[in-house]
Structure 1
Amino acid sequence: MIDLGKMDFTTLFKGNLSAMAENMTGGRSYSGNNKMMESLLPMLGGQFNPVFRSLMLLYQMIGSNLGIDPTLILTLVGFFWAANRVVRQVYGAVFRLVQENFMSNIHITSTDEIYTHMMKWLALQPLMASSRSLTAETVSKTAWEEEEELEALQTRTIAGSGGGNTEYLNFSNQEAKAPPRYVPAVGVHGFWFKGRYFRLQRKLQNVFDGEANYGTFRKEEDLIVSCFGRSPEPIKELLQFVKEFYYQDHYARTTIKRPSPAPMRRYGGRYNWSQVANRPVRPMRTVVLDPKQKGQVLADMNEYLHPATPRWYANRGIPLRRGYLFYGPPGTGKTSLSFALAGVFGLDIFVISLLEPTLTEEDLGTLFNSLPRRCVVLLEDIDTAGLSRADDEVDAAPSDGKGNKSPKGDREESSKKNNKDDWKVSDLARALKKEAKDDKKGISLSGLLNAIDGVASQEGRILVMTTNKPESLDEALIRPGRVDLQVGFTNATPSQATELFQRMYEADGASPAKRIDGHLAPPTNPAPPITVNGGTSSTSSSSTASPTKSSFSDKPLSPEAAAEAEKKHQFDAEELRRIAAEFGALIPDGLFSPAEIQGFLLKRKKDPRRALKETAEWVEGMRLQKENRTKVLKVQ
C-alpha cells in the first residue's frame, strides 16, 4: 500500500504540470495527459480496481487508435450538459414569466364530471390522436351502439351441426375488431380550437385520504387548460363546447346510474355514482297502461318540472319534492314506466338498492345529497327491502315461530338442534342465512325517511318507488308529502293485448322513420326465412325456437325462394289490425301480465300469423300452469 502521508505531492504535481506544458507547446497533449493519469493511478488505487483499470484501458484506446484527446471529448460533453441545463432553466424562467403575466388557465380535477367531458372530446381530436405521447384505453361499447354500426353486420358464420345448410353467427373476433381509445398521456400537449392555440397539462399528484380508519394516499389528477391572453373567456367557451358535445345525444338516450362501490364513495364528487347503462329513450306509447293514468302522471310531472314551480313552492313554504308509488303484479310495466318518463323529460335515472350490504344510512344521505337538481330516483321492490321500525324489531324478537311453545317443547327442540347428527342441509342453510341477516345492519325505515324528506335532504328530484305488495308498506313511507301520486298496474286486458301485438309487428312493414336526433334510422331488413337443415320449417307449437338461416350466410337463397319468403311475411296495416284484434280476443282479461304476452310474441317476432295460430294453445297451457302453480313452463 502507498503511504499517502509520506508521499511528496509537490514534486508529483510540479512534474506533471511541467509535462503538460511541454506537451501543449509540442502538440503532444495526449501523451502528457496519459503520463499524468499513470502518475495518479497508484494514488487512486486504480491498480487494484478492475473497473478503474478498464476505464483507463478505454481511455488509452480512444487516444491511440482515434488520435483524439479523450479529455477534449469529456470537455465537450460537459459543456453541452451545462448548456442544456442553462437553456432549460432560462426557458423555464421565461415561460413562468409569460404564464403568470400573459396566459390564463383553468384547473380541472379528476373528481369532477367536466374531466370526463374533456377527455372524451380530446380522444376524438385528430391532432391528439397523432401525438407521440398517448395513453391507450379499452372502451367497451353497449349493445345499442353496436346495433347502429354497419361494421356489426360483418360477422363470421359457422356451419351448424347435422349436415344441413344452417349457419350460426360467431362473434369470436368481435373484441379483436374493437379499436382502443387514445387519450393524451400525462405531460404537456397542445391543440387548436377555433383558431386559437391551447395548452393542456395532465399532472398526477398524491392526495392524503384521512377519512378511512387508516390514512392512505390516493392519486388524483389535475388537468390544466391554458391559452394566451389575460382573459379566461376562450377556455370557458371551450369547456362549454366540450360539455355540449358530450351531451349532444343525451336527449336521445337515458343514462342509468348506481351507487359506486364503498371504497370509491369515500372520494365524493362524481365518485358517488357510477354510470351503468346508456339506453335509447323508451317511447311512452310502448308502456302498457291505461291512457288516463298515463296522461295523469305525465301532466303531474310536467307541472312539477316547470321552471316556475320552485318559486311557487318556496312562497308557500312547501318542500320541492315529488314522490310516486307504482304498484302491481310483477311484469306489468312499473319499471318500464319509470324509464319512459325519464326519456320524455330528458332526466337521468339513479337506481338505489336498499339491500346493498355496504350501504349505510350515512351513505344513503350522502347519495341523496349528491343528486342533481332534476332527476329520477328509483327504489325498486321497496316491499322487499326489509324496512322496519326499531320498536317492531324488539317486539318481534321473542315471537320466532308459530304460536307459543311450552318449556318442554323448547327443551326438546334445543336438544334436537344440539344433536349434529339430526341436522339437515336445509337447517344449516337457514341458520347461516339468519346469522348473515343478524350481522347486516341495513337501512332502517327512519334512515330512509330522513334521506327522502329530512331537514337536510335534497330538493328538486323525483322519487319513484315500485312494489308488488303495497299493503305491506309502512304508512309513514307512503303518506302524502312522500308519495304524492299512486299508480296501479294490473295484468293485461284484451285491449292492451291488442295494442301490444300491434306494436310488436307494426315496425316490420313501416318505412324508415327519423330518429330523435333527426337522422334517418337504418332500414329494417326483411325477415329471413326460417330453415332447418336446409328445408323450410312448418308452423308448429314447439317449445324451442327453430334455428334461423342467417342473412350473413355465404349461400344466399335463390331469387324465387327469397321472393316467396318475403311475400309470405308481408302484410298491410289493415291485416295487422285484424290479426291484432283476433289475438286480443283470445287473451283472457287479467290473467297474463304484459311481460308474459311479450315473451310469447318475441319467440314469433317475424311471423304474426304464426303467433295468432299458436295463441289458443299457449293460453290453455299457461292457464293450466297457473292452476297447478308450477314454475315449469309446458308451452312457450
Structure 2
Amino acid sequence: MLSDLITSLSANPYFGAGAGLIGIGTALAVFRRTSQYGLIFFRRQFMITLEVPNNDISYSWLLQWISHQLRDSSRHLSARTTLIKNDDPSSRIQASYTFVPSVGTHYFRYQGKFIKVERTREQMINSGVPFESVQLTAFGQDRQIYIDMLEKARDSALLANEGKTLVYIPTINEWRLFGQPRRKRPLNSVILDKGILENLINDVDHFLANPHWYIDRGIPYRRGYLLHGPPGSGKTSAIMALAGHFDLSISTLNLSQGTMTDDRLQQLLSNVPEESIILLEDIDAATVGRHYEKEDAIRFQGMKPLTLSGLLNSLDGVISTEGRIIFMTTNYIDRLDPALIRPGRVDFKQYIGPLTADQTERMLIRFYPHLTRDEMNEFLKQIEQLTDNYSKPLSAAQLQGFFMHNKESIKHVFENIQQLYGS
C-alpha cells in the first residue's frame, strides 16, 4: 500500500512540481507546533514546577539539600570550599569541601516521584554578579511536595548552624552570608561594668517577648540602641554576645561606602533577613552629606550620596519596617546629629566607658583562675598606679591583649606590666 502511494504521488504532475513537498512541509510544521502546544498543555495539567532564584533566602538551603539527594547519582558537580578553624588554638586551618549540583539538568527520586532539577546561570551586565536559579519539575498538581522539600532544606540548614551566629553583609540591594557561621559568643566572655550587660539583655528580652504590647498601644514595633564610648570598650563584643544569646543573626551595614545612597539604604533595610540585628558601626563616620574627591565624583557619577534625611526616613519614616532591632555604635557621641539619636529612633542609650577596677578584677580571674587574693590586690594596685602616672585610662581590649601576650603565667604579667602603655 505504501509503495503504491509513493508511486502514485511521484507520477502526479502537481506533486512533482513541488506542491506536494509544500504540503508535507506544512503538515510537518503543523505537527511540530501541535506537539509543542500539546507538551505545554501536558506540563500545565499534569506537572508542577517550582523556580527558586539565588536572591531568595532558601536558595542556598535548597541547593545544599539537593546535593545530598544527588550524592550517589549525579556526576556533574560544583565544588564549594570553606576554611575551618577548630577550637584548639594549636590546630591548623583545614579546608572543607562540599559539592552542589552544577549548572545543567539532574534527576532524583523523592516521595516516590522523579524530580527534574535544572540549574541555570546568567551573567548580569550591570552588577557582574551571576544570576542563578534552580527549577524543580515533578508529576502531579500537589504543591505540598515542594513545601516539604523547602521545610526539610531549612531544617537541615538550621541544624548545621545550630550554636552559631550568622553575619550578613549587603550586595547591591540584597543580603548575603558573610564567611562561615561563627560560634556564638558566650555572655560571660564579655566583661562590662556592673549592670550594663544585664540591662541590655533585659531590654532586648522584653522587646522580643512583647510585640502585642507595642501593637495595642499603637507604637511602632521596633527598637533602637546606641552604644557609645571609647574604642576597645566592648561595644561590638556585647552585640555579638546578645545575638548569640537570643539566637539572632547580625546584618552589618557600612554607611560610609561611596555607593550608599538613600534609595539603596531604604531597599536594604526593607528586606533585612528575619530575626536579625541590624548593626550600624561607627555611625559618626557615616559621612552624611559628604563631599567626594574629584576621582570619586567621576567614579560615582550619577549617584546621590546618602543624606541625613534619607537615613532618618529609613530608620523610622513611613517606609521603615517593623519588628527590627537596630544597634548603633560610636566613639564620639557628640558628633551625632541630635535628630539621629532622639527618642523613637534611639530608645536605649548606653555608655560603655574605660576599664573599671571591677572589670579588671573579673578579667584577671577569667584569665588566671588560680590567682591568690594577694596577687590580685597587688595587680590592681599596680594598675591604679599606672593609670595615675599616665593620666590615661585603660580599655578592656588593651588589658585583654596584654593578658593574651602574657598568658603563660601570672609571673609574666607582673614582669611586663609596663607594656600596657607601650613602654
Query: TM-score, normalised on structure 2?
Result: 0.78
2:292 counterpart of 1:380: no
1:276 corresponds to which of 178, 189, 200: 178
Distance 1:111 1:240 in 2: 18
Go from structure 1 to structure 2 and tell me whether the alpha carbon gap of 1:148 and 1:326 turns closer, same or farther (over 3 Å shift): closer
Q: CA deviation at 1:290?
A: 2.3
Match of 1:140, SS state, is strand
Q: Which residue of 1 aligns with 2:202?
A: 299
Specify whether residues 352 and 92 from structure 1 end up closer, same or farther in structure 2 by C-alpha distance, changes over 3 A only.
same
Alpha-carbon distance in 2 for matches of 1:317, 1:246: 36
Matched, 1:146 2:9: no
Contact kept, 8 Å, 2:289 with 2:305, in 1: the verdict is no
- Alignment partners' CA distance in 2, 1:255 and 1:326: 21
1:321 to 222, 225, 242: 222
Q: Conserved in 1, the CA contact under 8 Å of 2:254 and 2:280?
A: yes
**1:442 aligns to what?**
305
> Which residue identity does 2:383 align to in structure 1?
I
CA distance in 2 between partners of 1:129 and 1:581 (Å): 64
Q: State whether structure 2 residue 264 is matched by structure 1 residue 363.
A: yes
- Which aligned pairs between 1:15-30 and structure 2 lie closer than 5 A? none
The residue aligned with 1:586 is 382
Task: Tell me by how many angstroms 1:314 deviates.
Answer: 2.5
User: What's the CA shift for 1:346?
Assistant: 1.2
Tell me whether 181-190 or 246-255 shows the greater mean CA deviation.
181-190
Instruction: Give the conservation status (yes or no) of the 8 Å contact 2:48–2:141.
Output: yes
Q: Tell me the residue number matched to 1:608.
A: 409
Shift of 1:196: 3.1
Question: Partners in 2 of 1:313 and 1:198 — Cα distance?
Answer: 48
Corresponding residue of 2:331: 468
- Whole-angstrom distance in 2 between the partners of 1:225 and 1:438: 45
Which residue matches 2:15?
Answer: none
1:200 deviates by 3.1
Shift of 1:611: 3.6
The alpha-carbon distance between structure 1 residues 97 and 386, as it changes in their structure 2 partners (threshold 3 A), is closer
Conservation of the 8 A alpha-carbon contact between 2:124 and 2:131: no
Q: Deviations over 1:71-119 (max 9, x none)?
A: xxxxxxxxxxxxxxxxxx9x99998787555444322223212111111
**What amino acid does structure 1 have at the position aligned with 2:396?**
P
Letter in 2 for 1:596: Q
Structure 2 residue 161 is matched with structure 1 residue 245: no
User: Which protein is bigger by CA-based radius of gyration?
Assistant: 1
Q: Secondary structure at the match of 1:602?
A: helix
**Equivalent in 175, 190, 193 of residue 107 of structure 2:** 190
Q: In the superposition, relative to structure 1, how do residues 138 and 241 fare at CA in structure 2: closer, same or farther (>3 Å)?
A: closer
Within 1, Cα distance between the matches of 2:363 and 2:284? Answer: 29
Picking from 424, 432, 451, the partner of 2:314 is 451
Separation of aligned partners in 2, 1:302 and 1:198: 46
**SS of equivalent to 2:259:** coil
Q: Map Cα deviations across residues 416-471 of structure 1 (whole Å, 9 max, x no partner).
A: xxxxxxxxxxxxxxxxx865688776322111111111111121111111111112
| Match 1:117 to one of 57, 61, 65 | 61
1:394-405 maps to which residues of 2 (within 5 A)? none
Alignment partner of 2:144 out of 200, 213, 233? 233
> For the structure 1 residues 188 and 293, does the alpha-carbon distance in structure 2 shift closer, same or farther, using more than 3 Å as the test?
same
Count of residues in Structure 1 that have an aligned counterpart in Structure 2: 381
**Distance change (3 Å), C-alpha of 1:332 and 1:219:** closer
| CA displacement at 1:597 relative to structure 2 | 0.4
Question: What residue in structure 2 maps to residue 553 of structure 1?
Answer: none
2:250 alignment partner, one of 349, 373, 390: 349
Question: Are 2:388 and 1:485 aligned?
Answer: no
Indicate the SS of the match to 2:82. coil
Q: Which runs of 5+ in 2 are unaligned?
A: 1-32
Counterpart contact for 2:360–2:380, Cα < 8 Å:
yes
Q: Show the counterpart of 1:52.
A: none
CA distance in 2, matches of 1:274, 1:257: 5
Tell me the TM-score normalised to structure 1 length: 0.54
Q: In angstroms, what is the RMSD of aligned CA positions?
A: 3.6
Larger strand proportion of the pair: 2
Higher mean Cα deviation, 218-227 or 184-193? 218-227
Q: Which runs of 5+ in 1 are unaligned?
A: 1-88, 156-170, 394-432, 507-572, 623-632
Counterpart-to-counterpart distance in 2, 1:325 and 1:483: 6
SS in 1 for 2:159: coil
Q: How far apart, CA to CA, are the structure 2 residues paired with 1:611 and 1:462?
A: 43
Does residue 1:335 correspond to 2:274, yes or no? no
Q: Which amino acid aligns with 1:365?
A: Q
* Residue 484 (structure 1) shift: 0.7
Is the 1:102–1:229 contact (alpha carbons within 8 Å) kept by the matching residues of 2?
Answer: yes
Separation of aligned partners in 1, 2:261 and 2:236 = 25
Does residue 1:128 correspond to 2:60, yes or no? no
CA 1:436–1:327 in 2, change beyond 3 Å: closer, same or farther? Answer: farther
Relative distance call for 1:611 and 1:436 in structure 2 (3 A) is farther
CA contact (8 A) 1:190 1:199 kept: yes
Give the direction of change, closer, same or farther, for the CA distance of 1:472–1:123 in structure 2 (3 Å limit). Answer: same
Name the aligned partner's letter for residue 178 of structure 2.
V
Aligned partner of 2:253: which letter?
A: I
Cα distance, 1:578–1:192 mapped onto 2, change above 3 Å: farther
Contact persistence 1:350–1:376 (CA under 8 A): yes
**Kept in 2: contact 1:304–1:322 (CA 8 A):** yes
